[in-house]
Structure 1
Amino acid sequence: MNQQWLTILMSKGIELEQNLRQQLQNAKDGLKSQLEERGIRLSAADLAALLEEVSPKASHAALSYALDIVRPFSAGMGLRISRLSDTQVEMVVSARTRNLNEVKTMHEGALVTAAIEAAKLLWMRHAPMGSFEINVTRLESELFKVTSEECRVRMELPETVREVVLAEVRDRREAKAEVELKVFDSNDQAVAEFRLHLSFKHTPALPGSEG
């Protein structure tokens, strides 16, 4: 993390607590030497994790904006993080023109993209140090209704599933998992459901590192 991130966040009008600058600086100083020794640059998920200790609201706003920076494919979709913890994520898909089809209802492709981004985001919170790749190998979908309103993509990651996958990653440097994501409209009615088959690959930051 560097001063450029803080400048970007401030320029977007995000309201941070008075002591945010100092707390972020302290966090940055404490992590900088450790990360640089491993040649690691702070990712969007890492930024959110730091901010979350100070202000969950600012964390979600920061990460939502960061998605438009680090994800070229979904840039401009206006994906917004409304909930993020170690076991849950909720991503809002706005009803902007880019996300609608020719009849002004939510495009199926926009929902698929949001589901993939949400799943990767939640898993990246638990990424070991080093390079951690997440790829979608298969996608199953079921669409229940059409809507012209914004949608919310939700996913829960059970601790048992997470620990099994991370153990495999540590032992074999790779693993596979299936995750389920559900999409709801503004009235909390089911819009769609996705099942993603994911593959994980880990390259330790240093030889012999377990992350």
Structure 2
Amino acid sequence: MNQQWLTTLMSKGIELEQSLRQQLQTAKEGLKTQLEDRGIRLSAADLAALLEEVSPKVSHAALSYALDIVRPFSAGMGLRVSRLSDTQVEMVIPARTRNLNESNGMHEGALTTAAIEAAKLLWSRHAPMGDFEVSISRIESSFYKTQTEEARVRLELSETTREMVLSSLRAHREAKAEAEIKIFDDHDQAVADFHLNLNFKHTPAIAGQTT
């Protein structure tokens, strides 16, 4: 009797999860279509800011889905934002087939892509009004272990670095910075780390300009 009840409960849980996933996918596609129809370019950081006061969990979930819209290259990786503030970001890389190599370990390319996405996402929270671009000029990486389960990308941004970059953008519309990104497993053991050289460009918004 208990076994039958447990089986029924698990079945209902799977049905509910599938239903929620379908609803979220439909909502994401509808949002993308509406934005494109209006000529609006979706900003993941702006979306997070709007939702974060209501619910950080909702904000992180929305950001995770927004990544698939604004970053076609990483679409399908299933990157999830688990922590985001003005100075920190944590992104989860799931151990799905797309992210694994032939030995079922986390692919070095997937780790590298997630590190870059995390850096761009954190800096996008501080983007001045107008067009803001972040590009990578150099990457140095070290890989410490084969990771067969999900991994977590972490980056912290110091206030000093942030203010130096923003000051340079205001004065010269260009800036440079470095970022140290670390990747851990669920036991906080080091999986890899990356040293990125970042280039920033900013074109101020024109007064009265509309999107």
TM-score, scaled to structure 1 = 0.80
2:199 matched residue in structure 1 = 199
Partner of 1:23: none
Alignment partner, residue 118 of structure 2 = 118
Distance 1:10 1:56, change over 3 A: farther
* Post-superposition offset of 1:40: 7.0
Please give the residue correspondences for 1:25-104 in structure 2 after superposition, counting only pairs within 5 Å: 41-104=41-104
Question: Which 4+ runs in 1 deviate beyond 6 A?
Answer: none
Larger radius of gyration, structure 1 or 2? 2
Q: How large is the Cα RMSD of the aligned pairs?
A: 2.0
Partner AA of 2:169 in structure 1: V
The Cα of 1:174 is off from its aligned counterpart by: 0.2
Cα 1:10–1:49 change in 2 (3 A) is farther
**Separation (CA, whole Å) in 2 of partners of 1:65 and 1:198:** 25
- 1:206 Cα offset (Å): 1.2
Q: How far has the Cα of 1:11 moved from its partner?
A: 2.8
**1:12 partnered with 2:36:** no
Distance (Å, rounded) in 2 between the aligned partners of 1:111 and 1:175: 26
Match of 2:34 in 1: none
Report the TM-score when normalising by structure 2: 0.80
State the distance in 2 between where 1:97 and 1:177 align: 33
1:153: how far off? Answer: 0.3
Match status 1:182 vs 2:182: yes
CA offsets, 1:73-110, max 9 Å, x none? 00000000000000000000000000000010000000
Query: Secondary structure at 2:116's aligned position in 1?
Result: helix
Residue of structure 1 in register with 2:135 after alignment: 135
User: C-alpha distance in 2, partners of 1:84/1:71?
Assistant: 18
Structure 1 residues without counterparts, runs of 5 or longer: 1-8, 14-35
Question: How far has the Cα of 1:147 moved from its partner?
Answer: 1.2
User: For residues 72 and 40 of structure 1, do their structure 2 counterparts lie closer, same or farther at Cα, with a shift above 3 Å needed?
Assistant: closer
Query: Using the alignment, how far apart are the partners of 2:167 and 2:40 within structure 1?
Result: 22
The answer on whether the counterparts of 1:150 and 1:185 sit within 8 Å (CA) in structure 2 is yes
SS in 2 for 1:165: helix
Q: Does the CA-based 8 Å contact 2:42-2:70 persist in structure 1?
A: no
Residue identity in the other structure for 1:107? H
SS at match of 2:163: helix
In 2, the alpha carbon distance for the partners of 1:195 and 1:59 equals 28
State the distance in 1 between where 2:114 and 2:43 align. 19
Gap runs ≥5 in structure 2: 1-20, 26-37
Give the equivalent residue in structure 2 for 1:161. Answer: 161
- Give identity over the alignment, percent: 73
Confirm or deny: 8 A CA contact 1:141 1:193 kept in the other structure. yes
C-alpha distance in structure 2 between counterparts of 1:65 and 1:97, whole Å: 19
Output one character per residue of 1:29-75: Cα deviation in whole Å (capped at 9) or x when no partner. Answer: xxxxxxx9xx9745121011110011100000000011111111000
